[in-house]
Structure 1
Amino acid sequence: MKRFDLELLNTLVTAVEQGSLSAAVPILCRSQSTLSEQVRKLEEQCGVPLLVRGKQGVVPTPAGQRLVDHARKLLALNDVAYQDMQGLLLAGDVRLAITDYFRPDWVPTLLRRIRGRYPRLRLHVAILKSAFVEEEVTAREYDLGISMMLPDATPEPPTDAEQRRLLRREPLFWVAHSSLELTPSEPVPIVALPASCALHRYTMSMLESHRRPYYIAHSASGVAGMHLALSAGLGVACLNASAVPEGLTRIGGALNLPRLPPVRFHMSSATPAVSALVAEVRGMLAQSAC
Protein backbone atom coordinates (compact mmCIF):
# COMPACT_ATOMS: atom_id res chain seq x y z
CA MET A 1 0.00 0.00 0.00
CA LYS A 2 1.28 3.45 -0.90
CA ARG A 3 1.94 5.93 1.90
CA PHE A 4 1.45 9.69 1.85
CA ASP A 5 4.39 12.03 2.17
CA LEU A 6 3.79 14.21 5.23
CA GLU A 7 5.56 17.16 3.62
CA LEU A 8 3.12 17.06 0.72
CA LEU A 9 0.18 16.81 3.11
CA ASN A 10 1.51 19.75 5.10
CA THR A 11 1.71 21.83 1.92
CA LEU A 12 -1.90 20.99 1.06
CA VAL A 13 -3.19 21.85 4.54
CA THR A 14 -1.24 25.10 4.72
CA ALA A 15 -2.41 26.21 1.26
CA VAL A 16 -6.05 25.54 2.17
CA GLU A 17 -5.78 27.26 5.54
CA GLN A 18 -4.01 30.30 4.10
CA GLY A 19 -6.29 30.49 1.06
CA SER A 20 -3.57 30.39 -1.61
CA LEU A 21 -0.22 28.88 -2.48
CA SER A 22 1.41 32.31 -2.49
CA ALA A 23 0.25 32.92 1.09
CA ALA A 24 1.75 29.56 2.11
CA VAL A 25 5.20 30.49 0.71
CA PRO A 26 6.55 32.44 3.74
CA ILE A 27 5.16 29.87 6.17
CA LEU A 28 6.68 26.82 4.46
CA CYS A 29 9.83 28.62 3.25
CA ARG A 30 9.43 27.16 -0.24
CA SER A 31 8.99 28.83 -3.61
CA GLN A 32 5.51 28.94 -5.10
CA SER A 33 6.62 26.75 -7.99
CA THR A 34 7.86 24.13 -5.50
CA LEU A 35 4.55 24.17 -3.65
CA SER A 36 2.63 23.86 -6.91
CA GLU A 37 4.74 20.83 -7.84
CA GLN A 38 4.11 19.25 -4.43
CA VAL A 39 0.34 19.66 -4.83
CA ARG A 40 0.58 18.24 -8.36
CA LYS A 41 2.40 15.14 -7.03
CA LEU A 42 -0.24 14.69 -4.36
CA GLU A 43 -3.05 14.98 -6.92
CA GLU A 44 -1.25 12.48 -9.15
CA GLN A 45 -0.95 10.07 -6.24
CA CYS A 46 -4.64 10.43 -5.34
CA GLY A 47 -5.84 10.36 -8.92
CA VAL A 48 -8.27 13.23 -8.38
CA PRO A 49 -8.06 17.05 -8.28
CA LEU A 50 -7.56 18.34 -4.74
CA LEU A 51 -7.65 22.11 -5.25
CA VAL A 52 -9.66 24.50 -7.39
CA ARG A 53 -7.42 27.39 -8.41
CA GLY A 54 -8.76 30.86 -9.18
CA LYS A 55 -7.94 34.55 -9.03
CA GLN A 56 -8.93 34.66 -5.35
CA GLY A 57 -6.67 31.74 -4.41
CA VAL A 58 -7.42 28.06 -3.88
CA VAL A 59 -10.31 26.11 -2.36
CA PRO A 60 -10.36 22.35 -1.79
CA THR A 61 -12.48 20.04 -3.93
CA PRO A 62 -14.70 17.60 -1.98
CA ALA A 63 -11.92 15.01 -2.24
CA GLY A 64 -9.37 17.66 -1.28
CA GLN A 65 -11.34 18.59 1.84
CA ARG A 66 -11.54 14.93 2.91
CA LEU A 67 -7.78 14.60 2.49
CA VAL A 68 -7.19 17.84 4.41
CA ASP A 69 -9.24 16.43 7.32
CA HIS A 70 -7.16 13.24 7.32
CA ALA A 71 -3.92 15.19 6.88
CA ARG A 72 -4.52 17.38 9.93
CA LYS A 73 -4.84 14.27 12.11
CA LEU A 74 -1.75 12.65 10.59
CA LEU A 75 0.33 15.82 11.00
CA ALA A 76 -0.80 16.22 14.61
CA LEU A 77 0.13 12.61 15.37
CA ASN A 78 3.50 13.15 13.71
CA ASP A 79 4.14 16.18 15.93
CA VAL A 80 3.19 14.25 19.06
CA ALA A 81 5.45 11.32 18.10
CA TYR A 82 8.39 13.60 17.33
CA GLN A 83 8.00 15.56 20.55
CA ASP A 84 7.77 12.34 22.54
CA MET A 85 11.02 11.08 21.04
CA GLN A 86 12.67 14.43 21.76
CA GLY A 87 11.32 14.54 25.29
CA LEU A 88 9.09 17.48 24.34
CA LEU A 89 5.66 16.05 25.08
CA LEU A 90 4.75 19.12 27.08
CA ALA A 91 1.90 19.24 29.55
CA GLY A 92 0.29 21.96 31.63
CA ASP A 93 -1.93 25.01 31.49
CA VAL A 94 -1.72 27.98 29.14
CA ARG A 95 -4.03 30.97 29.63
CA LEU A 96 -4.68 32.95 26.47
CA ALA A 97 -6.61 36.22 26.05
CA ILE A 98 -7.50 37.39 22.53
CA THR A 99 -9.32 40.41 21.17
CA ASP A 100 -12.25 39.27 19.04
CA TYR A 101 -11.13 41.57 16.24
CA PHE A 102 -8.15 39.24 15.61
CA ARG A 103 -8.92 36.88 12.71
CA PRO A 104 -12.24 35.65 14.18
CA ASP A 105 -12.81 33.05 11.44
CA TRP A 106 -9.30 31.64 11.90
CA VAL A 107 -9.03 31.46 15.69
CA PRO A 108 -11.05 28.18 16.10
CA THR A 109 -8.81 26.45 13.54
CA LEU A 110 -5.72 27.77 15.28
CA LEU A 111 -6.88 26.54 18.69
CA ARG A 112 -7.64 23.08 17.27
CA ARG A 113 -4.11 22.92 15.84
CA ILE A 114 -2.59 23.88 19.18
CA ARG A 115 -4.62 21.25 21.02
CA GLY A 116 -3.79 18.66 18.36
CA ARG A 117 -0.07 19.30 18.68
CA TYR A 118 -0.11 19.33 22.48
CA PRO A 119 -2.70 16.77 23.65
CA ARG A 120 -1.71 17.22 27.30
CA LEU A 121 -2.22 20.96 27.13
CA ARG A 122 -5.05 22.53 29.11
CA LEU A 123 -5.84 25.68 27.16
CA HIS A 124 -7.87 28.43 28.83
CA VAL A 125 -9.09 31.06 26.35
CA ALA A 126 -10.90 34.34 26.93
CA ILE A 127 -12.17 36.79 24.31
CA LEU A 128 -11.72 40.28 25.72
CA LYS A 129 -11.50 43.91 24.66
CA SER A 130 -7.93 44.90 23.84
CA ALA A 131 -7.59 47.18 26.86
CA PHE A 132 -8.63 44.31 29.13
CA VAL A 133 -6.23 41.95 27.37
CA GLU A 134 -3.34 44.29 28.15
CA GLU A 135 -4.45 44.75 31.76
CA GLU A 136 -4.97 41.05 32.43
CA VAL A 137 -1.65 40.00 30.90
CA THR A 138 0.19 42.72 32.81
CA ALA A 139 -1.49 41.47 36.00
CA ARG A 140 -0.37 37.93 35.03
CA GLU A 141 -3.93 36.66 34.92
CA TYR A 142 -3.09 35.32 31.44
CA ASP A 143 0.17 33.96 30.06
CA LEU A 144 -0.30 35.37 26.55
CA GLY A 145 -2.49 38.06 25.06
CA ILE A 146 -3.26 39.28 21.55
CA SER A 147 -4.53 42.85 21.40
CA MET A 148 -5.24 45.50 18.78
CA MET A 149 -3.58 48.90 18.92
CA LEU A 150 -5.12 51.89 17.19
CA PRO A 151 -3.23 54.47 15.12
CA ASP A 152 -3.28 57.05 17.90
CA ALA A 153 -2.10 54.61 20.57
CA THR A 154 1.29 54.60 22.23
CA PRO A 155 4.37 54.18 20.00
CA GLU A 156 5.00 50.71 18.65
CA PRO A 157 7.43 48.70 20.81
CA PRO A 158 10.48 47.00 19.29
CA THR A 159 9.38 43.97 17.26
CA ASP A 160 12.31 41.88 18.56
CA ALA A 161 11.17 42.17 22.18
CA GLU A 162 10.17 38.69 23.37
CA GLN A 163 7.70 40.00 25.92
CA ARG A 164 5.81 42.05 23.35
CA ARG A 165 5.99 41.50 19.60
CA LEU A 166 4.22 42.84 16.56
CA LEU A 167 2.14 40.14 14.88
CA ARG A 168 0.63 41.97 11.91
CA ARG A 169 -0.76 45.22 10.57
CA GLU A 170 -4.20 45.38 9.00
CA PRO A 171 -6.14 48.11 7.19
CA LEU A 172 -9.47 49.34 8.52
CA PHE A 173 -12.49 49.34 6.21
CA TRP A 174 -16.00 50.73 6.32
CA VAL A 175 -18.27 47.78 5.43
CA ALA A 176 -21.97 47.11 4.94
CA HIS A 177 -24.30 44.61 3.30
CA SER A 178 -25.19 45.25 -0.32
CA SER A 179 -28.87 45.49 0.64
CA LEU A 180 -28.22 48.69 2.62
CA GLU A 181 -29.04 51.74 0.50
CA LEU A 182 -27.70 55.12 1.59
CA THR A 183 -26.95 58.49 0.03
CA PRO A 184 -24.06 60.79 0.96
CA SER A 185 -26.49 63.29 2.47
CA GLU A 186 -28.05 60.84 4.95
CA PRO A 187 -26.73 60.29 8.48
CA VAL A 188 -24.84 57.00 8.55
CA PRO A 189 -26.39 54.19 10.64
CA ILE A 190 -23.48 52.75 12.60
CA VAL A 191 -23.13 49.20 13.88
CA ALA A 192 -20.53 49.10 16.64
CA LEU A 193 -19.52 47.68 19.97
CA PRO A 194 -20.34 49.67 23.13
CA ALA A 195 -18.58 52.96 23.86
CA SER A 196 -16.11 51.09 26.10
CA CYS A 197 -14.54 49.72 22.88
CA ALA A 198 -11.52 51.80 21.82
CA LEU A 199 -12.22 51.24 18.12
CA HIS A 200 -15.77 52.51 18.63
CA ARG A 201 -14.48 55.70 20.24
CA TYR A 202 -11.82 56.16 17.57
CA THR A 203 -14.14 55.77 14.58
CA MET A 204 -16.80 57.99 16.13
CA SER A 205 -14.20 60.70 16.70
CA MET A 206 -13.12 60.38 13.07
CA LEU A 207 -16.69 60.80 11.87
CA GLU A 208 -17.14 63.83 14.10
CA SER A 209 -13.86 65.43 13.04
CA HIS A 210 -14.92 65.03 9.40
CA ARG A 211 -18.38 66.38 10.26
CA ARG A 212 -20.07 63.30 8.89
CA PRO A 213 -23.51 62.87 10.52
CA TYR A 214 -24.19 59.45 12.00
CA TYR A 215 -26.27 57.63 14.59
CA ILE A 216 -25.85 54.32 16.42
CA ALA A 217 -28.24 51.88 14.73
CA HIS A 218 -27.08 48.78 16.60
CA SER A 219 -24.78 48.17 19.56
CA ALA A 220 -23.41 44.63 19.66
CA SER A 221 -21.68 42.84 22.51
CA GLY A 222 -18.98 41.37 20.25
CA VAL A 223 -17.72 41.13 16.69
CA ALA A 224 -19.94 38.12 15.99
CA GLY A 225 -22.96 40.23 16.91
CA MET A 226 -21.73 42.98 14.60
CA HIS A 227 -21.54 40.45 11.76
CA LEU A 228 -25.17 39.44 12.31
CA ALA A 229 -26.37 43.04 12.38
CA LEU A 230 -24.38 43.93 9.28
CA SER A 231 -25.66 40.88 7.39
CA ALA A 232 -29.18 42.00 8.23
CA GLY A 233 -28.48 45.35 6.58
CA LEU A 234 -28.85 47.33 9.80
CA GLY A 235 -25.96 49.69 9.14
CA VAL A 236 -22.30 50.39 8.48
CA ALA A 237 -19.33 49.30 10.59
CA CYS A 238 -15.60 49.83 10.74
CA LEU A 239 -13.70 46.53 10.83
CA ASN A 240 -10.11 45.44 10.35
CA ALA A 241 -9.47 43.35 7.24
CA SER A 242 -9.37 39.90 8.88
CA ALA A 243 -12.62 40.59 10.77
CA VAL A 244 -14.62 41.32 7.60
CA PRO A 245 -16.75 38.24 6.78
CA GLU A 246 -17.87 37.11 3.35
CA GLY A 247 -21.00 38.82 2.08
CA LEU A 248 -20.08 42.34 3.15
CA THR A 249 -18.99 45.13 0.81
CA ARG A 250 -16.28 47.69 1.45
CA ILE A 251 -17.68 51.19 1.16
CA GLY A 252 -16.46 54.65 2.06
CA GLY A 253 -15.75 57.09 -0.72
CA ALA A 254 -19.27 57.11 -2.10
CA LEU A 255 -20.69 57.98 1.33
CA ASN A 256 -18.04 60.55 2.26
CA LEU A 257 -16.71 58.40 5.07
CA PRO A 258 -13.21 59.25 6.34
CA ARG A 259 -10.26 57.12 5.31
CA LEU A 260 -8.77 55.23 8.21
CA PRO A 261 -5.14 54.24 8.86
CA PRO A 262 -4.15 50.63 9.67
CA VAL A 263 -4.19 49.03 13.10
CA ARG A 264 -1.56 46.82 14.72
CA PHE A 265 -1.94 43.49 16.49
CA HIS A 266 0.54 42.67 19.23
CA MET A 267 1.19 39.57 21.29
CA SER A 268 2.22 40.11 24.89
CA SER A 269 3.65 37.69 27.44
CA ALA A 270 3.04 38.04 31.15
CA THR A 271 6.76 37.71 31.88
CA PRO A 272 9.97 37.93 29.81
CA ALA A 273 10.90 34.35 30.75
CA VAL A 274 8.13 31.87 29.96
CA SER A 275 7.73 28.13 30.36
CA ALA A 276 8.60 25.77 27.49
CA LEU A 277 4.91 25.11 26.88
CA VAL A 278 4.01 28.82 26.75
CA ALA A 279 6.98 29.42 24.45
CA GLU A 280 5.75 26.69 22.07
CA VAL A 281 2.22 28.11 21.98
CA ARG A 282 3.62 31.60 21.49
CA GLY A 283 5.63 30.37 18.52
CA MET A 284 2.58 28.77 16.93
CA LEU A 285 0.57 31.96 17.40
CA ALA A 286 3.31 34.08 15.86
CA GLN A 287 3.66 31.77 12.86
CA SER A 288 -0.10 31.54 12.27
CA ALA A 289 -0.54 35.30 12.46
CA CYS A 290 1.39 35.89 9.23
Structure 2
Amino acid sequence: METLDPDLLKTFLAFVDGGSLAKAASAVGRSPSAVTAQMQRLEEVVGESLLAVQGRGRGLTPAGEDLVGHARRILAAHTEAWLALKGARAGGRIAIGTTQDFADRGLQDLLRAFAASHPRVRIELRVGRSAELGQALQAAQLDLAITMRQAPSADEVALISEPMLWLCSQKGLAAREEEVPLALLDPHCGFREAALAALAAASRRYRIAAGSASLAGLRTAVDAGIALTLRTRRFAHSGIVEAPRELCLPPVPVATFAIRLGREAGRPARDLAELLDSGLALPS
Protein backbone atom coordinates (compact mmCIF):
# COMPACT_ATOMS: atom_id res chain seq x y z
CA MET A 1 0.00 0.00 0.00
CA GLU A 2 1.40 3.41 -0.98
CA THR A 3 1.41 6.14 1.64
CA LEU A 4 0.13 9.70 1.27
CA ASP A 5 3.15 11.99 1.08
CA PRO A 6 2.58 15.06 3.33
CA ASP A 7 4.24 17.29 0.72
CA LEU A 8 1.68 16.19 -1.86
CA LEU A 9 -1.15 16.75 0.60
CA LYS A 10 0.16 20.22 1.45
CA THR A 11 0.13 21.16 -2.24
CA PHE A 12 -3.34 19.63 -2.64
CA LEU A 13 -4.70 21.75 0.22
CA ALA A 14 -2.98 24.82 -1.21
CA PHE A 15 -5.06 24.24 -4.35
CA VAL A 16 -8.23 23.69 -2.30
CA ASP A 17 -7.70 26.89 -0.29
CA GLY A 18 -6.47 28.99 -3.19
CA GLY A 19 -8.87 27.76 -5.86
CA SER A 20 -6.30 27.46 -8.64
CA LEU A 21 -3.05 25.69 -9.48
CA ALA A 22 -1.34 29.06 -9.96
CA LYS A 23 -2.23 30.18 -6.42
CA ALA A 24 -1.22 26.78 -5.08
CA ALA A 25 2.16 27.13 -6.80
CA SER A 26 2.68 30.53 -5.19
CA ALA A 27 1.66 29.22 -1.75
CA VAL A 28 4.06 26.25 -1.75
CA GLY A 29 6.90 27.99 -3.60
CA ARG A 30 6.91 25.75 -6.67
CA SER A 31 6.35 26.29 -10.38
CA PRO A 32 2.86 25.62 -11.81
CA SER A 33 4.26 22.67 -13.78
CA ALA A 34 5.74 21.17 -10.60
CA VAL A 35 2.40 21.55 -8.82
CA THR A 36 0.61 19.86 -11.73
CA ALA A 37 3.09 16.98 -11.53
CA GLN A 38 2.48 16.68 -7.79
CA MET A 39 -1.27 16.52 -8.29
CA GLN A 40 -0.83 13.83 -10.94
CA ARG A 41 1.37 11.86 -8.55
CA LEU A 42 -1.23 12.17 -5.76
CA GLU A 43 -3.93 10.94 -8.12
CA GLU A 44 -1.76 7.90 -8.95
CA VAL A 45 -1.37 7.12 -5.24
CA VAL A 46 -5.09 7.57 -4.50
CA GLY A 47 -6.17 5.78 -7.66
CA GLU A 48 -8.83 8.38 -8.43
CA SER A 49 -9.05 11.68 -10.28
CA LEU A 50 -8.98 14.50 -7.74
CA LEU A 51 -9.31 17.51 -10.04
CA ALA A 52 -11.68 18.11 -12.94
CA VAL A 53 -12.01 20.88 -15.50
CA GLN A 54 -14.58 23.50 -14.45
CA GLY A 55 -14.99 26.41 -16.82
CA ARG A 56 -11.59 28.02 -17.28
CA GLY A 57 -10.11 26.40 -14.21
CA ARG A 58 -10.28 23.21 -12.23
CA GLY A 59 -12.40 22.02 -9.33
CA LEU A 60 -12.56 19.02 -7.03
CA THR A 61 -14.07 15.72 -8.03
CA PRO A 62 -16.10 13.79 -5.41
CA ALA A 63 -12.92 11.86 -4.56
CA GLY A 64 -11.07 15.16 -4.18
CA GLU A 65 -13.74 16.48 -1.83
CA ASP A 66 -13.47 13.31 0.26
CA LEU A 67 -9.69 13.72 0.50
CA VAL A 68 -9.82 17.27 1.90
CA GLY A 69 -10.78 16.27 5.44
CA HIS A 70 -8.33 13.37 5.53
CA ALA A 71 -5.52 15.61 4.25
CA ARG A 72 -6.13 18.23 6.93
CA ARG A 73 -6.16 15.60 9.69
CA ILE A 74 -2.98 13.94 8.40
CA LEU A 75 -1.07 17.22 8.23
CA ALA A 76 -2.39 18.26 11.66
CA ALA A 77 -1.12 14.97 13.09
CA HIS A 78 2.28 15.54 11.47
CA THR A 79 2.49 19.02 12.98
CA GLU A 80 1.45 17.73 16.40
CA ALA A 81 4.08 14.97 16.32
CA TRP A 82 6.77 17.36 15.11
CA LEU A 83 5.98 19.85 17.87
CA ALA A 84 5.87 17.18 20.56
CA LEU A 85 9.29 15.81 19.62
CA LYS A 86 10.82 19.26 19.31
CA GLY A 87 9.40 20.47 22.60
CA ALA A 88 10.06 17.42 24.78
CA ARG A 89 13.20 18.88 26.39
CA ALA A 90 13.06 22.50 25.30
CA GLY A 91 13.06 25.21 27.93
CA GLY A 92 13.82 28.90 28.33
CA ARG A 93 12.11 32.01 27.04
CA ILE A 94 11.01 33.33 23.65
CA ALA A 95 10.24 37.01 23.14
CA ILE A 96 8.11 37.34 20.03
CA GLY A 97 6.97 40.55 18.38
CA THR A 98 4.17 40.82 15.84
CA THR A 99 2.08 43.39 14.07
CA GLN A 100 -1.55 43.66 15.12
CA ASP A 101 -2.64 42.02 11.84
CA PHE A 102 -1.30 38.63 12.92
CA ALA A 103 -2.13 39.09 16.60
CA ASP A 104 -5.78 39.54 15.58
CA ARG A 105 -5.95 36.69 13.11
CA GLY A 106 -3.66 33.72 12.61
CA LEU A 107 -1.27 33.66 15.53
CA GLN A 108 -3.49 32.42 18.35
CA ASP A 109 -3.91 28.77 17.36
CA LEU A 110 -0.24 28.41 16.42
CA LEU A 111 0.95 29.84 19.74
CA ARG A 112 -1.48 27.57 21.58
CA ALA A 113 -0.12 24.50 19.77
CA PHE A 114 3.46 25.56 20.45
CA ALA A 115 2.77 26.28 24.14
CA ALA A 116 1.05 22.90 24.58
CA SER A 117 4.03 21.03 23.12
CA HIS A 118 6.70 23.25 24.75
CA PRO A 119 5.35 23.57 28.31
CA ARG A 120 8.73 24.63 29.71
CA VAL A 121 9.20 27.49 27.26
CA ARG A 122 7.95 30.89 28.45
CA ILE A 123 6.48 33.01 25.67
CA GLU A 124 6.53 36.79 25.91
CA LEU A 125 4.40 38.53 23.28
CA ARG A 126 4.81 42.10 22.10
CA VAL A 127 2.41 43.72 19.61
CA GLY A 128 3.51 46.84 17.77
CA ARG A 129 4.33 48.59 14.52
CA SER A 130 6.84 47.04 12.12
CA ALA A 131 9.51 49.72 12.52
CA GLU A 132 9.37 49.48 16.31
CA LEU A 133 9.56 45.68 16.24
CA GLY A 134 12.48 45.75 13.82
CA GLN A 135 14.41 48.04 16.15
CA ALA A 136 13.64 45.79 19.12
CA LEU A 137 14.88 42.75 17.19
CA GLN A 138 18.13 44.53 16.32
CA ALA A 139 18.55 45.51 19.98
CA ALA A 140 18.19 41.83 21.02
CA GLN A 141 14.96 42.61 22.90
CA LEU A 142 13.12 40.09 20.70
CA ASP A 143 14.02 36.60 19.53
CA LEU A 144 11.50 36.51 16.69
CA ALA A 145 9.45 39.15 14.91
CA ILE A 146 6.77 39.29 12.22
CA THR A 147 7.04 42.61 10.40
CA MET A 148 5.93 44.18 7.15
CA ARG A 149 8.81 43.92 4.71
CA GLN A 150 10.21 47.15 3.28
CA ALA A 151 13.48 45.71 1.98
CA PRO A 152 15.35 42.38 2.15
CA SER A 153 17.04 41.72 5.48
CA ALA A 154 19.67 39.18 6.50
CA ASP A 155 17.63 38.05 9.51
CA GLU A 156 14.62 36.90 7.43
CA VAL A 157 13.84 33.19 7.59
CA ALA A 158 10.49 33.20 5.75
CA LEU A 159 8.17 35.50 3.83
CA ILE A 160 4.37 35.70 3.79
CA SER A 161 2.75 37.46 0.83
CA GLU A 162 -0.88 38.57 0.92
CA PRO A 163 -2.83 40.79 -1.51
CA MET A 164 -3.66 44.27 -0.28
CA LEU A 165 -7.39 44.98 -0.42
CA TRP A 166 -9.55 48.08 -0.27
CA LEU A 167 -11.91 47.43 2.64
CA CYS A 168 -15.04 49.13 3.91
CA SER A 169 -18.05 48.57 6.14
CA GLN A 170 -20.40 45.79 5.09
CA LYS A 171 -23.12 48.47 5.21
CA GLY A 172 -21.18 50.67 2.79
CA LEU A 173 -19.99 54.24 3.23
CA ALA A 174 -22.21 56.47 5.34
CA ALA A 175 -22.13 59.19 2.69
CA ARG A 176 -21.30 59.31 -1.02
CA GLU A 177 -18.73 61.90 -2.05
CA GLU A 178 -16.40 62.65 -4.92
CA GLU A 179 -13.24 62.32 -2.83
CA VAL A 180 -12.26 58.88 -1.55
CA PRO A 181 -12.53 59.03 2.28
CA LEU A 182 -9.61 57.16 3.84
CA ALA A 183 -8.95 55.73 7.28
CA LEU A 184 -5.19 55.32 7.71
CA LEU A 185 -2.67 54.60 10.41
CA ASP A 186 -0.36 57.44 11.37
CA PRO A 187 2.98 57.61 9.49
CA HIS A 188 5.07 55.64 8.88
CA CYS A 189 2.96 52.74 7.60
CA GLY A 190 3.43 50.64 4.48
CA PHE A 191 -0.32 50.37 3.88
CA ARG A 192 -0.74 54.15 4.19
CA GLU A 193 2.03 54.76 1.67
CA ALA A 194 0.63 52.16 -0.75
CA ALA A 195 -2.90 53.62 -0.56
CA LEU A 196 -1.78 57.18 -1.21
CA ALA A 197 0.56 56.11 -4.02
CA ALA A 198 -2.17 54.07 -5.76
CA LEU A 199 -4.70 56.91 -5.60
CA ALA A 200 -2.14 59.47 -6.79
CA ALA A 201 -1.13 57.23 -9.71
CA ALA A 202 -4.81 56.93 -10.71
CA SER A 203 -5.36 60.70 -10.28
CA ARG A 204 -8.12 59.99 -7.76
CA ARG A 205 -9.00 62.70 -5.28
CA TYR A 206 -9.04 61.62 -1.66
CA ARG A 207 -9.15 62.94 1.86
CA ILE A 208 -7.96 61.40 5.10
CA ALA A 209 -11.25 61.12 6.95
CA ALA A 210 -9.82 59.28 9.96
CA GLY A 211 -6.32 58.80 11.31
CA SER A 212 -5.31 56.45 14.10
CA ALA A 213 -2.25 55.19 15.91
CA SER A 214 -3.81 51.73 16.27
CA LEU A 215 -5.74 49.18 14.25
CA ALA A 216 -8.53 49.35 16.82
CA GLY A 217 -9.17 52.99 15.91
CA LEU A 218 -8.91 52.19 12.23
CA ARG A 219 -11.46 49.39 12.60
CA THR A 220 -13.91 51.69 14.38
CA ALA A 221 -13.72 54.28 11.60
CA VAL A 222 -14.14 51.73 8.82
CA ASP A 223 -16.91 49.79 10.58
CA ALA A 224 -18.83 53.04 11.09
CA GLY A 225 -18.75 53.74 7.36
CA ILE A 226 -16.78 56.96 7.84
CA ALA A 227 -14.05 55.80 5.49
CA LEU A 228 -12.46 52.87 3.73
CA THR A 229 -8.94 51.58 4.26
CA LEU A 230 -6.23 49.46 2.70
CA ARG A 231 -5.16 46.30 4.53
CA THR A 232 -5.09 42.54 3.86
CA ARG A 233 -7.89 40.03 4.33
CA ARG A 234 -6.82 39.56 7.96
CA PHE A 235 -8.60 42.87 8.63
CA ALA A 236 -11.73 41.79 6.74
CA HIS A 237 -14.03 40.31 9.35
CA SER A 238 -16.64 41.43 11.89
CA GLY A 239 -18.57 43.63 9.47
CA ILE A 240 -15.66 44.75 7.29
CA VAL A 241 -15.57 43.50 3.69
CA GLU A 242 -13.81 44.13 0.40
CA ALA A 243 -14.95 47.41 -1.15
CA PRO A 244 -17.41 47.02 -4.07
CA ARG A 245 -16.15 47.36 -7.64
CA GLU A 246 -18.54 50.24 -8.27
CA LEU A 247 -16.19 52.49 -6.26
CA CYS A 248 -13.62 52.00 -9.06
CA LEU A 249 -10.67 51.97 -6.69
CA PRO A 250 -7.20 51.58 -8.24
CA PRO A 251 -5.17 48.35 -8.15
CA VAL A 252 -2.77 47.94 -5.25
CA PRO A 253 0.31 45.77 -4.66
CA VAL A 254 0.88 42.65 -2.61
CA ALA A 255 1.89 43.07 1.03
CA THR A 256 4.89 41.03 2.10
CA PHE A 257 5.61 40.20 5.73
CA ALA A 258 8.87 38.74 7.00
CA ILE A 259 9.41 36.26 9.81
CA ARG A 260 12.72 37.37 11.31
CA LEU A 261 15.04 35.83 13.89
CA GLY A 262 17.27 37.68 16.32
CA ARG A 263 21.01 37.09 16.36
CA GLU A 264 20.85 35.15 19.62
CA ALA A 265 17.65 33.22 18.93
CA GLY A 266 17.80 29.68 20.30
CA ARG A 267 16.42 26.40 19.04
CA PRO A 268 12.87 26.92 20.42
CA ALA A 269 12.60 30.27 18.63
CA ARG A 270 13.76 28.65 15.39
CA ASP A 271 11.20 25.87 15.84
CA LEU A 272 8.47 28.45 16.38
CA ALA A 273 9.56 30.36 13.26
CA GLU A 274 9.28 27.15 11.25
CA LEU A 275 5.79 26.53 12.63
CA LEU A 276 4.71 30.08 11.79
CA ASP A 277 6.10 29.75 8.28
CA SER A 278 3.98 26.67 7.64
CA GLY A 279 0.83 27.82 9.41
CA LEU A 280 0.39 31.59 9.19
CA ALA A 281 -0.60 31.99 5.55
CA LEU A 282 -4.31 32.61 4.99
CA PRO A 283 -6.20 30.63 2.34
CA SER A 284 -6.38 32.73 -0.82
Instruction: In structure 2, give the amino acid aligned to 1:229.
Output: A
Q: 2:208 aligns with which of 215, 226, 231?
A: 215
Give the direction of change, closer, same or farther, for the CA distance of 1:19–1:82 in structure 2 (3 Å limit): farther
Look up the match of 2:190: 199
> Once superposed, what is the RMSD of the aligned Cα atoms?
5.0
Distance 2:222 2:174 in 1: 14
After superposition, residues 54-65 of structure 1 pair within 5 angstroms as none
Distance 1:136 1:108 in 2: 22
Judge which range, 207-216 or 168-177, deviates more.
Answer: 207-216
Distance 1:125 1:252 in 2: 41
Instruction: In structure 2, give the amino acid aligned to 1:237.
Output: T
Distance 1:165 1:74 in 2: 24
Post-superposition Cα deviations, 1:34-59, rounded to whole Å, max 9, x if no partner, equal 99xx9xxxxxxxxxxxxxxxxxx99x
Look up the match of 2:152: 157
8 Å CA contact 1:231, 1:248 repeated in 2: no
Q: 1:138 deviation in Å?
A: 0.6
Distance 1:189 1:213 in 2: 6
Distance 1:110 1:143 in 2: 17
Post-superposition Cα deviations, 1:61-111, rounded to whole Å, max 9, x if no partner, equal xxxxxxxxx999987874565347xxx520110001111234732111221
Distance 2:131 2:83 in 1: 36
Q: 1:183 deviation in Å?
A: 8.6
Instruction: In structure 2, give the amino acid aligned to 1:157.
Output: P
The answer on 1:137 being equivalent to 2:137 is: yes
State, as a whole percentage, how many aligned pairs show the same letter.
21
- Give the length in aligned residue pairs: 269
Q: TM-score, normalised by structure 2?
A: 0.64
- Name stretches of at least 5 consecutive residues in structure 2 with no aligned partner: 1-5, 43-58, 61-72
Distance 1:276 1:262 in 2: 31
Q: 1:201 deviation in Å?
A: 4.3
The 4+ residue runs of structure 1 with deviation greater than 6 A are 13-20, 22-27, 70-77
Look up the match of 1:94: 94
Distance 1:99 1:75 in 2: 28
Q: TM-score, normalised by structure 1?
A: 0.63
Post-superposition Cα deviations, 1:165-195, rounded to whole Å, max 9, x if no partner, equal 34122222211124224898522222222x2
Q: 1:243 aligns with which of 235, 241, 265?
A: 235
Distance 2:246 2:97 in 1: 32
